[in-house]
Amino acid sequence: AQKVTQAQTEISVVEKEDVTLDCVYETRDTTYYLFWYKQPPSGELVFLIRRNSFDEQNEISGRYSWNFQKSTSSFNFTITASQVVDSAVYFCALSEAGSGAGSYQLTFGKGTKLSVIP
Amino acid sequence: KAGVTQTPRYLIKTRGQQVTLSCSPISGHRSVSWYQQTPGQGLQFLFEYFSETQRNKGNFPGRFSGRQFSNSRSEMNVSTLELGDSALYLCASSKGTGPGNTIYFGEGSWLTVV
């Protein structure tokens, strides 16, 4: 069965510090997809990135970067020079290609609440 | 373009009542899925619809149901509400079904059962 673990429940950093959010996943599929979403207090889950299991290239988008390592089943997310606007709950999620019947569901971690203090 | 739109945003219901939540997907998206978010259980998959057909359902009792219309809009219904149904219900849409698609979420409907 698929599982996503975000061991860090809450993290507080001072503005401009770098912060890394950890994500470890479990799956028996060889084809799967990993996601990160951001959830501000309004409730909406904002899509940040999608990675497939065959693409282990690290990705950088502005102050955000992602490190995908299949050897350790991890997909970590780093925010460089954090800002107050980065304060939110961040979720890592997994979708397996073999979810069944061509359907599609995400398995989420419990989330990491990031507080950036000015 | 407009994102996923959910109505109502907030609602309070009494135990035993039923509730219907609505979702309008991003234009051109044909897959709609629903998730329940609670502090205890986190985000859990409810069901997914594609072309008006339920493709998959999560581990929820039969009181939870949904449907999708020909214009891809979707509704979910919870009958005989229980206190534990208090949650944020998130609707999401994607162009197609299958894990290669990116799912985009709405702001959710906050349901409180008293």
In whole angstroms, what is the distance from residue A105 CA to residue A110 CA?
16
Q: What confidence tens digit (pLDDT) does each residue in A82-115 have?
A: 999 999 999 999 998 765 555 578 999 999 999 9
Average pLDDT over residues B2-29: 96
The SS3 assignment for B13 reads strand
The shortest C-alpha distance from B44 to chain A (Å) reads 7
Q: What confidence tens digit (pLDDT) does each residue in A51-89 have?
A: 989 888 888 889 999 999 999 999 999 999 999 999 999
The shortest C-alpha distance from A81 to chain B (Å) reads 27
Q: Is the pLDDT of residue B81 over 80?
A: yes
Q: How far is CA B56 from CA A97, B4, B5, B68, in A?
A: 14, 20, 22, 13
* Per-residue pLDDT at A103: 58
Q: Is residue B49 less than 8 Å (CB to CB) from chain A? A: no
| Structure-block tokens of residue A96 | 């397996």
Cis peptide before B8 (omega within 30 of 0): yes
The dihedral over CA atoms of A27, B37, A7, A39, expressed in degrees to the nearest 10, equals 110
What's the DSSP call for residue B68?
E
The SS3 assignment for A1 reads coil
Cβ neighbours of B98 in A, within 8 Å? 97, 102-104
Element housing B29 (H / E)? none
Helices (H), A54-97: none
One-letter amino acid at A110 equals K
